[in-house]
Amino acid sequence: MNKIVEILPDKAALIQRSLALVISKIQTAVQERGMCTIALSGGSTPKPLYEALAGQDLPWRSLQVFWGDERYVPSDHPDSNEGMARKAWLDQVKIPKFNIHPVPTDEATPALAAYKYEEELRQMFQANLGDFPALDIILLGMGDDGHTASLFPHTEALEVGDRLIAVGNKNGEPRITFTAPLINHARCVIFVVAGESKRPALAQVFATEADDLAYPSRLIQPQGELWWLLDQAAGEELAQADPTNPVKTE
């Protein structure tokens, strides 16, 4: 694993840096493999990044878009990660509609939605049971509790090691989520994290010793590249924490 941590002075700089990195990874994937597979994160942090991507001139027809997690709601629901990304970005650019692969949250149960999404990924990547496809880019956020995607502390989804997609659980609210092993097979994982409220969890995630099940972002140790892009408000203490593990500050 190649882990890079960058701390940007403020949220605007964080979004601009995230944009530059995502553009670079999309272009590299398309140059090397003729396509780019990207999984989007939800929540509030990535919205300005998606809005910035909408203004770019990229090989949209070569992009295949997935979601690393989704709430079990229709796409027109205000909590929908799909709905947020479509409004902010995907509806504004010429990505062929069949290149966009939302979680089928209209299935009768969260478990069926997870099963169907797994089937769709297996078909897309020609991945048999037991195989884990390597997406080119997986974007992630991190909650104040250290969760990522919908891998919440001390939930069953953290233990799923043989599936691509699991049912997450946020205080009883069902989610559909990439599993840790699927995320860890990505070529490039990019965390985009902003705000002072993330500091306590970041300290635990970056600590040498801490409970992975209490801070699930610790489980993300991809065989490819791992980028942590933080704003100063979130990453302040990390910059001082470990002089042996240089953190690049802009």
Task: Out of 48, 102, 110, 141, name the contact with ligand 6PG by CB under 6 A.
Answer: 141
71, 172 in Cβ contact below 8 A?
Answer: no
By the rule CB under 6 A, 44 interacts with ligand 6PG: yes
98, 61 in Cβ contact below 8 A?
Answer: no
Q: Which residue is nearest to ligand 6PG (CB)?
A: 141
Stretch touching ligand 6PG by CB under 6 A, among 110-118, 127-135, 136-144, 212-220: 136-144
Instruction: Give 36 or 142: the residue with its C-beta nearer to ligand 6PG.
Output: 142
Instruction: Classify strands 69-71 and 173-178 as parallel, antiparallel or unpaired.
Output: antiparallel
Residues 230, 41: Cα–Cα separation, whole Å: 15
Instruction: Give 62 or 168: the residue with its C-beta nearer to ligand 6PG.
Output: 168
Task: Out of 13, 28, 35, 43, name the contact with ligand 6PG by CB under 6 A.
Answer: 43
- Within 34-139, where are the H helices? 47-53, 81-88, 110-125
Residues 105, 113: Cα–Cα separation, whole Å: 6
By the rule CB under 6 A, 169 interacts with ligand 6PG: no
By the rule CB under 6 A, 18 interacts with ligand 6PG: no
By the rule CB under 6 A, 221 interacts with ligand 6PG: no
- What is the size of the binding site for ligand 6PG (CB under 6 A)? 14
Stretch touching ligand 6PG by CB under 6 A, among 3-11, 100-108, 109-117, 141-149: 141-149
Ramachandran bin of 45, using left for φ above 0, alpha for ψ from -120 to 50, beta for the remaining angles: alpha
**Tokens 């078909």, residue located:** 123
Enter the DSSP assignment of 247.
Answer: -
Stretch touching ligand 6PG by CB under 6 A, among 145-153, 181-189, 221-229, 231-239: 145-153
Instruction: Give 18 or 41: the residue with its C-beta nearer to ligand 6PG.
Output: 41
Instruction: Give 15 or 62: the residue with its C-beta nearer to ligand 6PG.
Output: 15
Task: Out of 102, 110, 143, 235, name the contact with ligand 6PG by CB under 6 A.
Answer: 143
139, 39 in Cβ contact below 8 A?
Answer: yes
Residues 58, 3: Cα–Cα separation, whole Å: 26
List the structure tokens of 57: 């001139």
- Give the torsion sign (CA, 50, 51, 52, 57): positive
- Residues 79-98 contacting ligand 6PG, CB under 6 A: 81
Q: How far is the CB of 213 from ligand 6PG (least distance, A)?
A: 16
The residue ranges that bind ligand 6PG (CB under 6 A) are 41-45, 69, 81, 141-143, 147-150
